[in-house]
Amino acid sequence: MARAKLWFKVTSAIFLLAVLGSGAALVALKALFPEPKARAYVVEAARKQLGREVRLDHIDIGLTGLHLKGLQVSERPDFAAGTFVSVETFSLRPSWKALLRRKLVVQTASADGLKLRVVKNEDGSFNYDTLASSAPATPAPAKAAGADEPAPEFNVRHLRVTRGDVDYRDLSSGASWAVSELALKLDDFSLSEPFDLDLSLRAKGKAGVRPVDAQLAFSGTVSPARGHREKFALDFKRLSAEQDGLKLTAKGSVAGLDAPSAKLDATLSAAGKTLLELKGTVRAGAAPAEGARRIDADLSFNTPGLDTTLIAKWAPSAGVPALALPATDGSFEGLYFDGATAGAKAVRAAWKGGEIAGSFMVRGLGTEKMFYGGNAKFGLDLPEIRAGQYSFIKLPPKAVVPAMRLDGAATYGADGELTLTSLAARFKQGTASAAGAVHKIGSNKPVADLALKFAVDVPSFKINELPVTVSALPADFVVPAMRLDGGARIHGDDVSFDKVAVKGKSGTLRLDGNVLKALAGAPEPALEIGADLDLPALTDKDLPFPGVPAGLELPASKWNADLTYTPKLIKLRTLGLKIGSNEITAEGGVVDPSGRGAFDLLFKCRKFVLEELTRMTPRTRDLKLAGAGFFALSVTGTKEKPVFGGKLQFEGLGATVAELPLSQFKGTVSFNETRIDVPNLKGMVADGNLAMDLTLKDYAKNPEIQVEASLDRFDLGKYFDAKKKLEADAQASKAAKEAAGKPAEKKASTPIRTRGSFKIAALVHPNAQLQTVAASWDLWGVTPEMTKLNGDAKISSGEGRLRDVGKIALQSPILKILLFPILIVQKISFGVNLNDIAVGTFSGDYGFKDGLMTVRHSVLDAGKAADFSTEGTVDLPAERLDLVVGARIGNIPRIETGVTGTMSDPKAKLKVGKLLETAGQNLLNGLLKR
């Protein structure tokens, strides 16, 4: 105890002497070096040491340490180049006790109002590189041999920096950063022991084109481990960065410098709301000689829900899509290697309604040829996606991707091949799946090799709701709801279909086959098509297609089809149609349908009932179709020259043509490639009974019509009315086409030969009645132009009566020629009424030669009242007349008149005495021009 007290007294005495000695030394120092002199000495010493100008407002050295005010150091060489660093006040108090032990320990140090300017020059050097003495360095004294003294230590117990500013400029890149509000708190700094560090600042500048104005803060403990890099450690309680309302905070630790390993616990928040939490470790391998190193990360994350628009606003150059992500947790095991490889060895994310797991790798970072690879397995619920909703999803206008459940697995290889092991989508309307690969996915023309399957309910929609334009249909055309089942395969530009079925309310359409070059814009289809359809009654409003007649009323119908289609061949295995009691089937094929069109078709109709079809179009409604029957029809040949064959049997056939009723027709039609035969045809024309045998020979090349017919009554007036109406309708149709810019096509007429006879028991007309009218003919070269007309014709009739023959003549040029004799003399009848005469007989004999008709004999016998005759020629193509008309009226001698001119403008000249000729000339000319 006594010894302890002794040592305490000795120690106290030594300490008191040291304090008194220090005080005496300080008094002596201030006496020898007053403040102005000391300040000038320090400034000059610093100028020589730094090689720059130095300014100092005040210096104070005492037991409390060194105190400086207004310290400034210029850029090199002087303040004209700017100020490198300045500080308003700086204080430094060493530990005197430590100095006695040859240790440099800063008890406290503080700097307030620190301003630092750092400049990177265009050559890569910095403005602080020249902080060196202008005088040659004094070599350190050589260490005595055998000396093994410990190196002096440098410790700082307390360091404070407040109101600090740092200005950084990069003259080569133009980048600039400003650090303000810098505050530094350092306690117990030592190279051998852990020390605490608090740092906060505000940084302004640009990251690329993105302006940065962020608050940064750090609080933690540093363990320098006497410079042993592998033992270095950093524990941080808080690391934060905040900008634009988005804040990142973290805590954790770092161990080692050469191969550091870090533990992180980070949180991303906005307006106090947590967006994302991240935990895990990051490890870096030792850097090899060339400087590259491997970095591994093993992290877990979770989010209560994340609106990525906040992140996109904070880091727009990262291309973060705008999404609202649900609450999610997951993990990430990644690496970065050699400066050129990065990726995730394993990544997983799970949320309510979805999960994804996989890996990916990127090689060749920073080069022109980067290679990507990875795989993923996923199952997730996707919301409905509309065109334009997300900028990173490109959809055609009006396109909608429905909400769905998506499950699958995919692999992407470094060779640019995406392999879909499986991809299945389930949505409200059905399911769809895909498997296969897409090659060269990163090129301008990726090549797909995919197998697709689908079972989808497609709701009703309008054509204008489609994402593509369909010009063939009206915009408001409604496509009915349907069910789509089957499969397809995409191989490059080719698409194939596998048992595709389109099922709707009205039936099913089946499709198999392929379409080569379908995705290249030059489709070459080779398809197997089947259909079973029950169509409801339709109108032209339901079928707004080109060519559908206005006013169409199509009854309910049943269709079935089984066919093969290619651009070179349409092969009908069967094609059936049933409308009410009407049934028709077809089979065969058409070669080169879009070209010459070679037919080999067979049509069969088990039964047709025309009354059920009469309301189909305005035309059929006007025709008032009637009748029933069956037929078989073969069609061969080409579009230009089709050849028909088959048989048609009908009963009760009828129609109304231009208000002329045809009814009760019964008969059989047989036809082949060379002739059409209609034997024993019976029916009614208006109120007359018709019996006819008709044969058409060689109709495809040199048509010849043979007719043997009889009619017990023929209403010539109704015939002319119908003919007039048909001609008017034809003219109206022609005018409509010309108004629409569609002039009628002019086709060369095929000459026809016709022969036969026609007998009419009673011919009636409002102005005429004739009994036993008979005609026979043998004509060839018959065309509308009549330029090659040749042959013979005869006509005759029995008793009858003619009234007001001028009105009859106006209805037909042929009748006008036949009645010329009466027309000529009726104004000079010498008391005989030629407007109402009884006819005894009429006979005519005509010859034709290249369009010139020769009237060999034409006689009308009216008994004692009169008789008339005509001889001469008529040029039918030119309608030019050269006739001699003879007439006898009662007891008046026979007179003759020459008729010339044209049918529309005839000229007559009487062959009688001068007196009669002069008296009757004007009357005749006026009459014949009617």
Paired with 343 in beta bridges are: 335, 361
Q: What is the pLDDT of residue 914?
A: 39
Range with lowest mean pLDDT among 510-524, 654-668, 777-791, 879-893: 879-893
Answer with the residue of higher pLDDT: 287 or 901: 901
Q: What is the pLDDT of residue 829?
A: 47
Q: What is the pLDDT of residue 154?
A: 59
711-731 pLDDT, tens digit each: 999 988 888 888 888 888 878
Q: What is the pLDDT of residue 925?
A: 54
Q: What is the mean pLDDT of the chain?
A: 82
Kindly state the average pLDDT of the residues 342-358: 92
Distance of alpha carbon 686 from its chain centroid, rounded? 60
Q: How many residues does the chain have?
A: 930
In angstroms, what CA-CA distances link 504 with 562, 751, 887? 18, 52, 79
Evaluate whether 657 touches 726 at the Cβ level (below 8 Å).
yes
21-37 pLDDT, tens digit each: 344 444 444 555 577 88
Of the candidates 683, 684, 681, 601, which has an alpha carbon nearest to the alpha carbon of residue 649? Answer: 681
Evaluate whether 58 touches 69 at the Cβ level (below 8 Å).
yes
> Cβ neighbours of residue 361 under 8 Å, at least 6 residues apart?
341, 342, 343, 344, 372, 373, 374
Paired with 769 in beta bridges are: 764, 801
**pTM (2 d.p.):** 0.63
**pLDDT above 90: percentage of residues in the chain:** 33
**Cβ-based neighbour number of residue 473 at 10 Å:** 16
Token pair belonging to 164: 């600090």
d(CA 480, CA 332): 49
Kindly state the average pLDDT of the residues 390-401: 74
Residue 441 pLDDT grade (very low, low, confident, very high; cuts 50, 70, 90):
confident
Answer whether residue 834 shows pLDDT above 80.
no
Q: What is the pLDDT of residue 145?
A: 44
d(CA 343, CA 509): 49
Token pair belonging to 668: 């059989």
Answer whether residue 467 shows pLDDT above 70.
no
Paired with 112 in beta bridges are: 89, 162
Q: In degrees, to the nearest 5, what angle opens at C-alpha 901 toward C-alphas 898 and 907?
A: 50
What are the start-end ranges of the E strands in 244-392? 246-255, 261-270, 273-284, 294-303, 306-307, 324-325, 328-337, 341-351, 354-363, 371-382, 385-386
DSSP H/E element including 723 = helix 716-739
> Cβ neighbours of residue 628 under 8 Å, at least 6 residues apart?
581, 607, 608, 609, 610, 650, 651, 652
